[in-house]
Structure formats: structure tokens, C-alpha cells
Amino acid sequence: MLKKLKKFKIKKIPSSYFRKHQILFIAVIGILILLGISKVLYQYFVPDKEIIVPLQVQTIRVKEAPMSELIETIGTLTAKTELKIKAGASGRVQQLLADAGSWVKEGTLLANIIAAPEVRAPFDGYLTDWQIKTGEYVTAGTELIELVNTDLLFLTYRVPEHYAGRLEVGQIVQVSVKAFPDQVFEGVVHFVSPIVDRKTYTILVRAEVKNPHQNLWPGMSAHVSHLLTTHPNALVVPESCLILTMEGYDVFVVVEGKIERRTVEIGEKKNGRVHIKSGLNLNEPIVLVRTSLIEEGSQAKAVDWLGDW
């Protein structure tokens, strides 16, 4: 057995073999270390960033349009010319010559009263209802009937005191009544009270309203739109864009690819539009349709709505 082992010779491995593999091992370890350090440095100096896709939002552009500043209130119509006709002397009513509710011309004989002056119409107008009957004895001063001319009516109404510096004789008012909801009647202010009512802190205003077709009746209540001024080139946006806050109104604006919430001062509202007095510029894109994803600072792409508004 020993003889056989002696015959078996163990081949000697050269030392250069170990040196080469040692160098290779060290190189691999170095590369791994460098890779690890590089990854740490990259993550430190170049942090991971999420790819954010801008939210597409439907917008409209601020545009110019004529807008009017109005005072909206309720008023009462009365006849400018009306008179209660009374007996000039005592006597018995002989005859009533005009029907109640009829239109009479100036000078028309209305009634005969024995031993009293003739009762004639002092101006053109409508008669109301007779307060006397044929054969009745009346005394001087008894009210017989009322005559009303409705060609021109007075419109009386009150406005808050803070409008005092803006009310002027000659301003235009528009009038509508429930009896004719599709018609608008026009009048002109002819009286502005120089005092403020101490109980209501309002100012009395009276306008004259023409009534050529006799559609307006004395005693009617009327919706009044008192025109203060007109802005021919007012900045406007849809009223639906407004965001009501405790302090006033805000809107969302797309500025350089981001949503910006901006406070605006508004004026008149009409036909779905609102007058923007301050806070916006012409052609700025305003968010038209708001969702829960829209908030200040979020990235957004404005997509203008091409419809008419």
C-alpha cells in the first residue's frame, strides 16, 4: 500500500496561480463596492421622482361684454293725474250721464244735479265707480266719482341709503308687473328725496312711466330695475365659476400649468354672467367645471370650452 502511495505524486500548484485569482477577487469586490456607493450617491443627489400627468380641466376665457349696474326693488304704480269729483252744491241727482269705468274726454257732462252746477270731466281719463245714485240727495262737497288718467303713471319706490351719491334725476328704470310678465316698461326718474327715512334708512324715488297701451293700472305692484350706469367693456365670466366664501367669491385660474385660487370682486349678475370688477384679466383661463381633484397648486392643462355663454 505504501509503495503505491509513493508512486502517486501530488502535483505542485504554482504560487502565481493564487496571485492572479487573488487580484481578480479583489477587483470583483471593488467593483461591487463601487456599484453600491454609486447607487447610494445617485439616490442622494438624484432622488426618485414620480411622473405626474397634468389634470385636464375644462376652462373658459375671461371676455368683455356690456354689463349694467342696477338697483333691484319693488315699487307701486299710481296715476299721475287723478281727481275725486265732488258736488259743487246741495241738490238731488237728476241723471248720471256716463258709465262707471268708461273713458271720457275733457268737458264731457257726467251728471246733472238739480240746483247745482253741471258735473263735467276736467280732463281726459277713466271714471271709477259712482258713489251716488239717481234720485239721491247730496250735499255740497259729496264725493261723486273719481277720474283717473293712466297715460302717464308714477312709480314710487325706495332704495338703500348707500346709493345716495349715485341717484340722479333722468336715470332710466325698467318696470315689469305680474299681469304682463313678458313685457318690460320703461320710465325716467323725476324725483329723488333729499332726505333718508329715519326708520328704514332708505331714500324715496319717483319715476314717470308712459302707459300708451293702458297695460299698467294704478295700484299695481311692480318690479323695478333702476339703471345706475352701464359698463360697455366689462370683464365677465359664467356665474357658475364662482366659489362662495365667507369673505366673498373666489375662482380657480390655470396659471403656467398650475391651478391658482384667486379672490375676485364681483358686480352685476345677468343672464348667467357676472361682472368681475377686480381679480382677473382679459383672456385668463378660468376653471368652468370643478371636481374634487382640482385644488390650488395641482398641475393642470387648460382645455377651453368652445360653446357660447
Per the document, the length of the chain is: 309
For 118-162, how does the pLDDT look when each residue is reduced to its tens digit (9 = 90+)? 999 999 999 999 999 999 999 999 999 999 999 999 999 999 999
Determine the topology of domain 88-141 in CATH: OB fold (Dihydrolipoamide Acetyltransferase, E2P) (2.40.50)
Report which secondary-structure segment, H or E, holds 135.
none
C-alpha span between 305 and 300 (Å, rounded) = 15
DSSP-derived pairing of the beta strands 300-304 and 55-61: parallel
For 231-266, how does the pLDDT look when each residue is reduced to its tens digit (9 = 90+)? 999 999 999 999 999 999 999 999 999 999 999 999
Termini Cα distance of the chain: 111
At residue 2, the pLDDT reads 47
C-alpha span between 111 and 108 (Å, rounded) = 9
Other CB atoms within 10 Å distance of the CB of residue 62: 19
CATH of domain 70-76+151-231: 2.40.30.170
C-alpha span between 252 and 263 (Å, rounded) = 9
Taking the domains of the chain in order of start, what are their residue ranges?
Answer: 56-65+235-304, 70-76+151-231, 88-141
Determine the topology of domain 56-65+235-304 in CATH: 2.40.420
At residue 8, the pLDDT reads 46
Q: Between residues 292 and 52, which one has the greater pLDDT? A: 292
Other CB atoms within 10 Å distance of the CB of residue 233: 11
